[in-house]
Amino acid sequence: MAVTIRDVARQARVSVSTVSRALSAPGLVKEATRQRVLEVVRGLGYEPNRAARSLITGRTGNLGIVVPDLENPFYPAVLRGVQSRAHEAGCAVFFCDSRVAAEDALVRTMAAQVDGVVLCASLLDDDQVAELADTTPMVLLNRTLPGVSSVLMDSASGMAQVVEHLAELGHTDRVYLGGPEQSWSHRRRLVGLADRARRLGPFEPTFDGGVEGARQALSTGATAIIAYNDLMALGVLSHLSTRGIRVPEDISVTGFDNILYAAMCHPPLTTVAMPTEEAGRVAVDLLVDRLAGGPAECRELPTRLVPRASTGKAPMFS
């Protein structure tokens, strides 16, 4: 059997409540006793039983995060931010990839054992999200819903920067390969795009989706392809290379997210940097605030264009 609060109390010659207080309400016990207790705690290697504690407090000390696709490097980056901040806040984090099961089922399962959850780029409809948010404290990432905290990355501005960049290079015929239609990020990118590019899609926001998008884009004769995200842009690059089309001489390509590989591919990808890790940290902050009884809050983080070699002057432009 593990060492319990009673063992500590006995050895420190105090009552269990004093031990409890020494540990979780330092102000309520005399410094000398507290030290004595702490010493015994260390000596015995006592670790409070979380189950017992939660049974009373109703708190688990855990946070949950649900992401749509861990294999998109965007999410590990977010997760890293979440985890480091959660760690600072003394919380452990449960994690789920929603390809494993339905998003709402996952959140519900999680809700039972965490104090709150970070829901990333949810594709659920508003009613479903609202229902979940009603059950458990929640912060949304790249998604909004009235009354629910959220952390947003400014996709509209990012996309506007992309279009402007392309325009400056002389591209007049631009095509956008869209992501999932329910996606908030996709819709915000459309806002930034306005009517400054044709639209194709929706496509899967993956490498293969990009390959398919490139195929379709080629038949439009556009000189610039704007992909929904970097993963797709990588697929676009790959397809163009297969077809012997040069980037950026023949066609310019842009992505979104600035994942690690955007800098490593050939040619390096012009893209929009997203404050992923920061977003993860802010999400936890908002969640913690919420748990402490604060109000729902919405925070938008800036994005910025990262020009690289996949964009160049439009052909025949001087």
Partner DNA sequence: CTGAAAGCGCTAACAT
Partner DNA sequence: ATGTTAGCGCTTTCAG
Q: Applying CB under 8 A, which residues contact its own copies?
A: 47, 49-52, 54-55, 60, 62, 70-71, 73, 76-77, 79-80, 83-84, 87, 92-97, 99-101, 109-110, 112-113, 207, 234, 237-238, 241, 260-261, 264-266
33 binds DNA (CB under 7 A): yes
Residue for token pair 């926001």: 205
4 binding partner (options DNA, its own copies, none; Cβ < 5 to 8 Å by kind): DNA
Residue 161 has phi, psi (to 5 degrees) of -65, -40
Residues in the chain, how many? 318
Region for residue 137 given its phi and psi (left: phi exceeds 0; alpha: psi -120 to 50; beta: otherwise): beta
48 binds DNA (CB under 7 A): yes
Find the part of the chain contacting DNA (CB under 7 A) among 30-38, 256-264, 267-275, 294-302: 30-38
CA dihedral in degrees (8, 12, 16, 17; nearest 10)? -130
Closest CA to 217 of 259, 171, 186, 183: 171
Three-state secondary structure readout of 58-114: CCCCEEEEEECCCCCCHHHHHHHHHHHHHHHCCCEEEEEECCCCCHHHHHHHHHCCC
Tell me which H or E stretch contains 196.
none
Residue 28 CB, nearest approach to DNA (Å)? 5
17 binding partner (options DNA, its own copies, none; Cβ < 5 to 8 Å by kind): DNA
Residue 178 has phi, psi (to 5 degrees) of -75, 155
284 binding partner (options DNA, its own copies, none; Cβ < 5 to 8 Å by kind): none
100 binding partner (options its own copies, DNA, none; Cβ < 5 to 8 Å by kind): its own copies
87 binding partner (options its own copies, DNA, none; Cβ < 5 to 8 Å by kind): its own copies
13 binds DNA (CB under 7 A): yes
Interface ranges with DNA (CB under 7 A):
1-2, 4-6, 13-21, 23-25, 28-30, 32-34, 46, 48-49, 52-53, 55-57
